[in-house]
A and B are shown apart, each in its own frame.
Chain A
């Protein structure tokens, strides 16, 4: 079952290209035919010459990054994008969500829907749609939201997963908080699940775990591609009965997003070491899982600086809200590599980790694959629906609200058709989401 990837805006197109490349490289590397076939089928189709062509559509309002992504893929010699699978314009969206959502989106609706339809029709069975974009700019955020809306209309029964890249908290685009708020509020109604990577977190992984001195966006994207790839590469799930799962997006959504108020998913993976150190590193499942569990409950996104003091609250304390403990709604743990069947995952079934709505058996799922991922002999990835994103979300909404209170830059949005009412609606929706996550226990 296939996933159609829709790459939107500069970030979406860069990360998307890197993701597809990592998935394919890993599949070919592993030399396990079944995984390789499943992975290829999921993300690529074969043209008449036997070349692998991505099941992907590239959309941007500027041509530069799409051209780069297309040529990078072609240069790999292993795969390429479809010749007519892209659409771009010339002048960009000026970092303005309203320009993307109200002007560019509708103007190019038909073309974009056509492109996606062609990819969808090529699939024997559609597992779902993966929309990749950033929230800070204008195209990924604005056009991306509009396109998600169109996809929801055209494919009401399909799973739509949005992968979002959140910007550096210290500021990359002046109006990033506005663009983020508008995007998230709208996507919450349209998307089945929202998987988030934060530039700040990934940057730290690059500097502290991978020891990269001069971090470029290519480095950042490579980490995102690794983490996302470890989720999307085929795995054996409880439902898939001994074969590689044919419904990855569906299973992810049903495992994690049981309530419409709770759709924000974060990803952590372990280990993350520089390639040069891999030969000298050895990993054991108990150690990896112990660290990953503590990363989850202390809300640390990487295996350095973990606060081992944080413990799940005892039953009696549960009614008090403890800010340092990260309560989960649901978790999916994905294990890949050697001896995966002997890995002990009971630590993640502790009811203290979860809110009281679901039993731990319902809240926790494990996916496994005996094939190592991306050269790591053993690796574990956790996709979490928890309070992990609460703080950055709150800070985004707070920043936007402060700016909105002085009506700064609002004229740039209203001139394209977004009213102050629309802003207020978006703020209300997100305050609702924040409140829900805060109350989770």
Chain B
């Protein structure tokens, strides 16, 4: 089996990352009865002799001694990382996996990307390299960060470009938390758009998540669990959270929301090896495509699908999958050249606390609305040159960066618009090659 390394950058990135590791451990604890270090554990954890960083690593098959997360934690403030190191997950990480500073990035992308980016370049590369060397077959880097702040956004995207430079063959999947309109960081539009440009250049795949959607989902769960409907399940575009599970142990304000994102990551990588009335199952499939369950504020059914992946866990058979695809397909607009653009995956092991779950990852033009809103917020500030001096004072930062980032985003939006324009239009099949006889 292959391994993946999670790189969590900034306050948000580390908080979400923390929920991810917590959930991952709970999943394995639930399934792994014999305490053996198996291939599944190996994909995200190392097994070492002692909690010291120079402990000998064990290969798959033996008993679990000490599990270390395959992770790199980066933050320019110590608060969040320190909390993790004092919390129940402290044994998961050793000092060689951490990179921290004290003063933070002041919600300034330029400080994160340029100042810290160059100051810490070597250390970042070293830390990443160490994590990669512990893997005998590294498949993917998962980067988790937010777009609106300074560290996650600026330094996070710098890390992303370093990942491309140093490990060009390894897939880079980025989970980016986008700020909601009422974000308390005034300059979040600047940070987000500057970061977006980096994502389009260096990421293989981006999973955008909007804070506002997470808030709405959490509200819905609260409403349902207080409304006395236990066991009713809500599925995110990518996560499944029960009326109960999502809130258990959620003492801190963002925990519930972070759980949702953590679930997302877990369900992407669940691999095989561990039953439901069809009606409820089918409802789950329908929900995955409804706008209430998306992790961004958009309605995929009214936009164009370029491709869609369905990863199902639990006692769900191939016939359930095929039946639902056939049932839903007529109401889902797919781009003309990819009418059967489905990737399906089945994993027999359900997530903890549920009998089954569904992860739907869609490449859909509806993301364009998120970007357009962001661009509007950006333009409001940029027109008045509000707060620009904070950025331009940073060494290496120029006006050009802003205008390039804006035009890169506009290009992206334009491409989505062009695709959208083909929606519903009857595109004739390309004329086939003809054989002379």
Interface on A for B, CB 8 Å cutoff?
A: 62-64, 90-92, 95, 168-174, 176-177, 203, 206-207, 212-217, 220, 397-399, 401-406, 408, 427-428, 431-432, 435, 439
Contact = CB atoms under 8 A, between A and B. Distances in A.
A398 B432 CA distance: 7
12 contacts: A64-B273, A90-B136, A170-B322, A171-B342, A172-B343, A174-B341, A177-B340, A203-B322, A216-B317, A431-B432, A431-B433, A435-B437
Contacts of B139: 91
B16 to A, nearest CB: 27
Contact of B318 (A173, A215, A408): A215
A428 B273 CA distance: 42
Given A174-B341, A207-B319, 11 more contacts: A91-B139, A92-B2, A169-B340, A171-B344, A174-B342, A214-B317, A217-B318, A401-B429, A402-B337, A402-B430, A431-B435
A331 to B, nearest CB: 26
Nearest to B309: A174
A405 B322 CA distance: 27
Given A203-B319, A399-B340, A428 B433 contact: yes
Contacts of B337: 402-403, 405-406, 408
B329 interface: yes
Given A215-B319, A402-B337, A405-B430, A432 B1 contact: no
Interface in B303-353: 307, 317-320, 322, 325-326, 329, 336-344, 346
A433 to B, nearest CB: 10
B325 A432 contact: no
Nearest to B275: A214
Contact of B1 (A64, A171, A220): A64
A269 to B, nearest CB: 21
Given A214-B320, A406-B337, A172 B434 contact: no
A170 B317 contact: no
Contacts of B411: none
B435 A91 contact: no
Contacts of B430: 401-402, 404-405
Nearest to B433: A431
A398 B337 CA distance: 10
Contact of A399 (B2, B329, B339): B339
B434 A431 contact: yes
Contacts of A172: 342-344
A174 B338 contact: yes
B interface bracket (residues with beta carbon within 8 Å of A) = 35 or more
Given A203-B319, A401-B432, A90 B2 contact: yes
Nearest to B434: A431
B137 interface: yes
B272 interface: yes
A431 B433 CA distance: 7
A430 to B, nearest CB: 9
Given A203-B322, A220-B318, A432 B435 contact: yes
Contacts of A408: 337-338
Contacts of B346: 217
Contacts, number: 93
A90 B432 contact: no
B319 A64 contact: no
A217 B346 CA distance: 10
Contacts of A435: 435, 437
Contacts of B136: 90
A170 B325 contact: yes
A439 B136 CA distance: 54
B188 to A, nearest CB: 33
Given A172-B343, A174-B342, A399-B340, A91 B433 contact: no
Nearest to B320: A214
A427 B341 contact: no
Interface hub of B2, B139, B318, B336 (most chain A Cβ within 10 A): B318
A418 B117 CA distance: 38
Interface in B104-162: 136-137, 139
A214 B341 contact: no
Contacts of B326: 170
A304 to B, nearest CB: 17
- 5 closest Cβ contacts across the A-B interface? A171-B340, A171-B342, A215-B319, A405-B430, A90-B137
Given A402-B430, A405-B337, A174 B319 contact: no
B276 to A, nearest CB: 9
Nearest to B429: A402
B163 to A, nearest CB: 18
A215 B322 CA distance: 10
A177 B337 CA distance: 11
Contact of B341 (A171, A206, A405): A171
A210 to B, nearest CB: 12
B360 to A, nearest CB: 14
Nearest to A207: B319
A406 B306 CA distance: 12
A401 B339 CA distance: 12
Interface string B268-299: 00011100000000000000000000000000
Contacts of B343: 95, 171-174
A23 to B, nearest CB: 24
Nearest to B272: A64
A364 B235 CA distance: 56
Contacts of B329: 170
A399 B340 CA distance: 9
B377 to A, nearest CB: 32
B319 A91 contact: no
Contacts of A215: 317-319
Contacts of A176: 340
A361 B430 CA distance: 43
Nearest to A215: B319
A283 B340 CA distance: 40
A397 B430 CA distance: 11
Contacts of A212: 319
